[in-house]
Chain A
Amino acid sequence: MIEVKKLVKRFGMKTVLRGVDFRVERGEFVALLGPNGAGKTTFLRILSSLARPSLGEVKVAGYHLPHQAAQVRARLGVVSHMPLLYGDLTAQENLEFYARMYGITNYQLRITEVLELVGLEARRRDLIRTFSRGMAQRLAIGRAVLHDPEVILFDEPYTGLDQDASSMLDEVLKSVAAQGRTVVMTSHDLARAEDLATRFDILTRGVIAASTSRGSLGRYGLLKYYKETLAG
């Protein structure tokens, strides 16, 4: 579903990604971990066609980036730590706008489905600027799955959420992933990543330094694996 070969990304003289190889099969939930500045966000921005690769090959859902970006975007949902929602529009209006931008024809029905999925049906007529951070983030997930994408990218979705909001987001994330979608999530929250993902890749110094599945983690879990990878 996602295939990346020898990806390099440079910003002027600075090389952020130095030959990343990455592959995700359909239905996999991959947690992309790594320290700050490792290039996780840049990597997701390239996968989502918001940034161009300097070198290398990127294929998402069978389409090449950046040449077939529109086809990729139609099959992709993105949730970042920013909600990508307009504060002066209601939840309903925000979703209607994105539905039009994605060419969804039966959008009233779909918006109701999505609002029920993220538990915000009762707040559909409220302005986003009155939402808490957790509610806005749940609606951001609703926005990302509105067009029923095959692939979803989560970039630090838990940033700025309190414990209750994070737990609620866990449930929404699990239900989104349970629908057979391919998910890539970056996170600094190892416990949450371990709970949700089926595979763990560690990106450090611009390359994927290690990759393991949930079954191969061993009894010490993700934290030990992560520390050993970064130390080595």
Chain B
Amino acid sequence: MPTTSHPSFIHATLAVVRKDLTAEFRSRELLSAMLVFSLLVILIFNFALELNVKERQSVTAGVLWTTFAFAGTLGLNRSMAVEKDRGCLDGLLLAPVDRAAIYFGKVISNLAFMFMVEAFVLPIYAALYNVNLFHPGLLLVILLGSIGYTTVGTLLASMTVQARTRDVLLPILLFPVAIPVLLSAVKASTGFLNGADMAEIWPPLNLLIVYDLIFTAVAFMVFDNVVEE
């Protein structure tokens, strides 16, 4: 007979992350789609825009965040669809754990996939556009922007996964809600890439931090209601 103890929040969160990573590294369905898609987006921009060196610098943040946002949506949709397809979302929700732990587990794994895509895109973009992207400030913006995007994206994906039109519904719901995070991320990234004064960079950076905190708190409070019928 099994010996059971109440599973802690952290143990449950880590169990979800471990499960997601193991399944993904085995199937590579989600990551390969995200990586190929991001590569195509930056290649299309590269050939379509035909920019000189100065112009390249000015569009870099926009192109990067467009790539991250579209690839991220692809990943968010797939990551929740995997839970829904064999009824696994019910399996997760039946576990005697705080449901916020399930949400944070999904956020961490989605964030891990997003970071992998970003780590893939940055050097390729730097090589193709001949732009130096290895600026600590830019990496901080990518970290904060990805957290914000994934936090709200995972919450909305867990809502839309119930719908038949989930593939279409997620971007329609997500992009309007993620506008503040995307605009702030583009503005702060451009600031760091152009070597702007910190006084100019702080407002979008602060907005990113506040957005991350607010949506983490909102998701913590509402996830249980979002997934329950």
Contact = CB atoms under 8 A, between A and B. Distances in A.
Interface in B63-99: 82, 86-88, 90-98
Given A89-B23, A97-B19, A84 B88 contact: yes
A151 interface: no
Contact of A98 (B1, B23, B87, B91): B91
B15 interface: yes
Interface string B1-22: 1111111000110010011001
Contacts of B90: 50, 78, 80, 82, 84
B118 to A, nearest CB: 24
B228 interface: yes
B95 A101 contact: yes
A74 B22 contact: no
A89 B22 contact: yes
A102 B96 CA distance: 6
Contacts of A37: none
A82 B7 contact: no
B26 interface: yes
B96 A146 contact: no
Given A89-B23, A148-B1, A51 B86 contact: no
Interface in A50-105: 50-52, 66, 70-71, 73-74, 76, 78, 80, 82-89, 93, 97-105
A89 B16 CA distance: 13
B4 A105 contact: yes
B50 interface: no
Nearest to B98: A70
A109 to B, nearest CB: 8
A87 B87 CA distance: 11
Contacts of B93: 49-50
A97 B93 CA distance: 13
B27 interface: yes
B22 A93 contact: yes
Nearest to A110: B2
A88 B15 contact: no
B26 A88 contact: yes
Given A45-B229, A86-B88, A89-B19, A107 B95 contact: no
A48 B15 CA distance: 22
A104 B4 CA distance: 4
Nearest to B19: A97
Nearest to A128: B86
A219 B30 CA distance: 57
A101 B12 contact: yes
A76 B94 contact: yes
A120 B87 CA distance: 21
A34 B82 CA distance: 31
Most buried by A among B4, B94, B228: B94
Contacts of A98: 91, 95
Contacts of A105: 2-5
Contacts of B87: 80, 82-84
Contacts of B6: 74, 103
A168 B11 CA distance: 35
Given A50-B93, A82-B90, A102 B19 contact: no
A97 B18 CA distance: 8
A153 B228 CA distance: 18
Contacts of B92: 101
A180 B98 CA distance: 29
18 contacts: A11-B229, A71-B96, A74-B4, A74-B6, A80-B90, A86-B82, A88-B24, A93-B22, A98-B91, A101-B15, A102-B4, A103-B7, A103-B96, A105-B4, A105-B5, A127-B26, A147-B4, A148-B2
Given A100-B11, A147-B2, 10 more contacts: A49-B94, A70-B98, A73-B94, A74-B96, A84-B86, A84-B90, A98-B91, A99-B2, A101-B96, A105-B3
Interface of A: 11, 45, 48-52, 66, 70-71, 73-74, 76, 78, 80, 82-89, 93, 97-107, 110, 127, 143, 146-148
Closest 5 CB pairs of A and B: A82-B87, A84-B91, A103-B7, A74-B96, A101-B95
Interface of B: 1-7, 11-12, 15, 18-19, 22-24, 26-27, 82, 86-88, 90-98, 228-229
